[in-house]
Amino acid sequence: MWWRSPSFILDNRQQQQPYDTARGDALSIPLSSPLPPSTTMADPNPNPNPNPLTDKISAYYQTRAAHHGVVSSDWLAQAQAAVGHLPEGDDDANTTDQGASSGKPFSVIDEFNNWRKQPDLAEAVAAIRALAAVIRNSQATTMMELEIELKKASDSLKSWDTTSISLTAGCDLFMRYVTRTSALEYEDFNSAKTRLIERAEKFGEISYKARKIIAMLSQDFIFDGCTILVHGFSRVVLEVLKTAAQSKKLFRVFCTEGRPDRTGLRLSNELAKLDVPVKLLIDSAVAYSMDEVDMVFVGADGVVESGGIINMMGTYQIALVAHSMNKPVYVAAESYKFARLYPLDQKDMGPALRPIEFGVPIPSKVEVETSARDYTPPQYLTLLFTDLGVLTPSVVSDELIQLYL
């Protein structure tokens, strides 16, 4: 909703003036104070291979696995530390950003990588912050120049990891804001530039807010005594379930294991902390337990133009099973995951591969399907919970048309 019109942006700004300034301070102070970069974040997240072209490992899914994947006790401790000290993460990124800008030539990709190391930061937000850093470091003196520079940066970002839909969507969204919005007219270049940067800073907060909105919207659909099947780990879904638990709803959750990075384990862990009854299923037990399930809740890596979703492997088959048993399938996704893509079938997307551990050596003759994601067509989805409201799949395209055309 926030990008629907520039006037909305202005209204929002007026409303949130106090909050914004406070936040701006929080962001600007660490910028000016160079802290020693904390390594707690970087350690459990080995840098994904920044060159996906040589071996087709999807950086996006690597990061996901690193963020939400296998749960170990020390990892949990670290994660908690990271979640508890978000500003610290900001410090870390910001300082490296500064270092990058002052020392070696600025690279948007490094910048982006710095941002996305934070587990709580959505990829689109990281992309937009990286682009904001481009603006900050830009030597351009005209809007046009800046636009061209940004375009280049976003193109290089997009081509760096073609598998990440929200990265592409985030770049597109920000580019659109820069090129199309009328909020920037009638201003001199410098104030326009600062406004763009402000905007990018605010984006993270918006993405956080979007989760809250989605959680609120979905509360009407969770009723007492229901059983919810979730697949994989999604921050939005977690937020939804957390809000439901906090509002004293009685429900239980079936978590799939989420092989190969076992993100389901992480989710069940989080839910157990909230005292929500959780049952873990292996991925192949979905159909077996579907009759007990009242609804399926999944997140999405990307929502495509047809209204279908691209999500971690296994979503499609869950949706198929649920559809055949007439169970509703709900998708929770922020609107910045809407992408102008239109896959016709499963293979109609760029491959996003990911190494899979089987625990035993696999003979070289055996081929392994390493794709990390699948496409769920819109006819198997019931509703999408987004920060734009509760949408049927067909509305996604309408929103996209209004946004991009």
Partner 1 sequence: MDARRGSLPVPRVRQVGFFTPNAPPAPTRSQSGPPNSSSPPLPESPASNSLSPVMIPPPRHHSDNLAAAPRPTSPLPVPEPSPFRRRGAHAGADNNAPLVGSYNPTETLLAMSPPATRSPSDSHAGDGESEVAMSGGWFRRSNSAKLASSLPSGTFDFSSVQSTAEALKPTKVQNRVGVSEASGRPAPKEQQPEAPSSSKQPKPKLTKAERRALQESQRAAKAATKASGGGKSVAASEEVTTVKSVKQHQTQKKDAPHVAVSVAASERKGGDKSQEKERRKDAPAPRMQFDDKSRVDKAKRRSVVDQTEARNRVELFRHLPQYEHGTQLADLESKFLQLDPMHPAIYKVGLQYLAGDISGGNARCIAMLQAFQQVIQDYSTPPEKTLQRDLTAKISSYVSFFTQCRPLSMSMGNAIRFLKNRIAKLPLSLSESESKSSICSDIDRFINEKIVLADRVIVQHASSKVKDGDVLLVYGSSCVVEMILLHSHELGKQFRVIVVDSRPKLEGKALLRRLVVKGVHCTYTHINAVSYVMHEVTKVFLGASSVLSNGTVYSRVGTACVAMVAHAFRVPVIICCEAYKFHERVQLDSICSNELGDPDAIGKVPGRMDVNYLDDVSNSVNLQLLNLMYDATPADYVSMIVTDYGMIPPTSVPVIVREYRRDHLLI
Site residues (vs partner 1, CB under 8 A): 305-307, 340, 342, 344-345, 347-348, 378, 394, 397-398, 401-402, 404-405
Instruction: Tell me whether residue 272 or residue 344 sits nearer to partner 1 (CB atom).
Output: 344
Dihedral pair phi/psi, residue 282, rounded to 5°: -75, 160
Token pair in block for residue 167: 């990265």
Angle, to 10 degrees, between the axis of helix 17-32 and the axis of helix 189-218? 110
Tokens 């949130």 locate to 16
Min. distance of Cβ 376 from partner 1 in angstroms? Answer: 14
Instruction: Tell me whether residue 66 or residue 341 sits nearer to partner 1 (CB atom).
Output: 341
Min. distance of Cβ 404 from partner 1 in angstroms? Answer: 8
Coil, strand or helix at 303:
strand
Min. distance of Cβ 59 from partner 1 in angstroms? Answer: 23
Instruction: Tell me whether residue 145 or residue 398 sits nearer to partner 1 (CB atom).
Output: 398
Instruction: Tell me whether residue 291 or residue 345 sits nearer to partner 1 (CB atom).
Output: 345
Min. distance of Cβ 346 from partner 1 in angstroms? Answer: 11
Instruction: Tell me whether residue 144 or residue 405 sits nearer to partner 1 (CB atom).
Output: 405
**297 beta partners:** 230, 330
Min. distance of Cβ 351 from partner 1 in angstroms? Answer: 12
Instruction: Tell me whether residue 189 or residue 404 sits nearer to partner 1 (CB atom).
Output: 404
* 109 in Cβ contact with 50 (< 8 Å): yes
Instruction: Tell me whether residue 249 or residue 340 sits nearer to partner 1 (CB atom).
Output: 340
**Helix or strand holding residue 159 (H, E):** helix 143-160
Min. distance of Cβ 341 from partner 1 in angstroms? Answer: 9
Q: If we measure between CA atoms, which residue out of 124, 67, 61, 47 comes closest to residue 351?
A: 61
Terminal-to-terminal C-alpha distance of the chain:
16
Min. distance of Cβ 391 from partner 1 in angstroms? Answer: 12
Percentage helix, strand, coil for the chain under 3-state DSSP, each rounded to 5: 55, 10, 35
Who's near 396: CB < 8 A, 6+ residues apart? 303, 304, 305, 306, 307, 338, 378, 384
